[in-house]
């Protein structure tokens, strides 16, 4: 029996990633889609036309609740599905996330894996200037989760952490992925707003040139 996977994004704008992956005609992505077989998404209504979204993500903070509901339903059905859910750090300011974390740990939803985008950025500014969340992994651990910190830009490290999470049989897992919205664009000033980066024309041209150069280097 093939393992089925679900991808749920609690953060609406992250829905673009799995949605776009569905539309990319790259054979490697196609192979991934075949392997996943059933990628089901929690996504904003705007992505519903893609036909892959089972439900809207709702307001910020509700996505994890939806994901664990799907995970619990899969258990009742005898399915071996795994559920991967993307959550943001700013979203942790919502109490519903912690209610969901308690519920998932109580029910030992070991098939549930959260990828937490810990970029210290939210719409209001740096997260740590709005609410102190640290130590994030320790909080999830205290709630009964398998929790690890990982460099979110290190694909191999994230892969290893995912493998450990998939092997976990007692607890739900959370990968606290440390990321930066400026990652990959060295031309951006260090104080560039991480949530909404509005580039003046000269900086936009520099960013385009930098990304084009990196893309060409990858293709070389």
Chain residues that interact with Mg ion, rule: CB under 5 A: 88-90, 119, 121
CB nearer Mg ion, residue 52 or residue 122: 122
Q: How far is the CB of 118 from Mg ion (least distance, A)?
A: 7
Q: In this complex, which beta carbon is closest to Mg ion, that of residue 9 or of residue 119?
A: 119
Residue 58 Cβ vs Mg ion, minimum distance, rounded to whole Å: 18
Residues 210, 187: Cα–Cα separation, whole Å = 8
Classify residue 125 by its DSSP letter.
Answer: B
Cα–Cα dist 30/99, whole Å: 36
CB 129, min distance to Mg ion, A: 12
What is the number of residues in the chain? 220
Q: Which is nearer to Mg ion, 14 or 119 (CB)?
A: 119
**Which strand ranges, in their side-by-side order, compose the sheet holding 112-118?**
5-9, 82-88, 112-118, 173-178, 146-151
Name which of 89 and 149 has its Cβ closer to Mg ion: 89
DSSP 3-state percent helix, strand, coil across the chain (nearest 5)? 45, 15, 35
Q: Give CA–CA dist 10/218, Å, rounded.
A: 31
When the beta carbons of 198 and 219 are compared against Mg ion, the nearer one is 198
Q: Which residues of 143-181 are buried (b: 16+ CB within 10 A; e: fewer)?
A: bbbbbbbbebeeeebbeebbeebbeeeebbbbbbbbbeb
3-state secondary structure of 85: strand
* Distance between CA atoms of residues 55 and 93, nearest Å: 23
Considering the complex, state which of residue 65 and residue 121 has its C-beta at the smaller distance from Mg ion: 121
CB of 72 to Mg ion, least distance (A): 27
| Distance (Å, whole) CA 200 – CA 219 | 28
Q: Shortest approach of Mg ion to residue 181 CB, angstroms? A: 8
Shortest CB 196 distance to Mg ion, Å: 12
């Amino acid at each position: 029996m093939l393992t089925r996977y679900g991808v749920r994004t609690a953060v609406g704008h992250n829905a673009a990633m799995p949605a776009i992956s569905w539309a990319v005609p790259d054979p490697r992505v196609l192979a991934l889609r075949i392997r996943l077989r059933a990628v089901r998404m929690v996504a904003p209504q705007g992505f519903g036309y893609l036909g892959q979204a089972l439900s809207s993500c709702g307001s910020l903070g509700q996505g994890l609740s939806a994901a664990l509901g799907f995970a619990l339903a899969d258990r009742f059905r005898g399915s071996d599905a795994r559920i991967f859910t993307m959550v943001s750090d700013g979203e942790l300011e919502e109490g519903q996330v912690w209610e969901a974390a308690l519920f998932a740990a109580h029910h030992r939803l070991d098939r549930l894996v959260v990828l937490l985008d810990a970029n210290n950025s939210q719409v209001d500014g740096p997260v740590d200037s709005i609410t102190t969340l640290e130590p994030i992994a320790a909080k999830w651990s205290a709630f009964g989760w398998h929790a690890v910190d990982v460099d979110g830009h290190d694909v191999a490290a994230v892969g290893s952490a995912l493998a450990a999470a998939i092997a976990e049989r007692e607890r739900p897992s959370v990968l606290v992925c440390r990321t930066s919205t400026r990652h990959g664009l060295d031309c951006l000033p260090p104080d560039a707003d991480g949530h909404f980066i509005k580039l003046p024309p000269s900086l936009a041209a520099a960013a385009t040139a930098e990304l084009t150069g990196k893309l060409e280097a990858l293709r070389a």
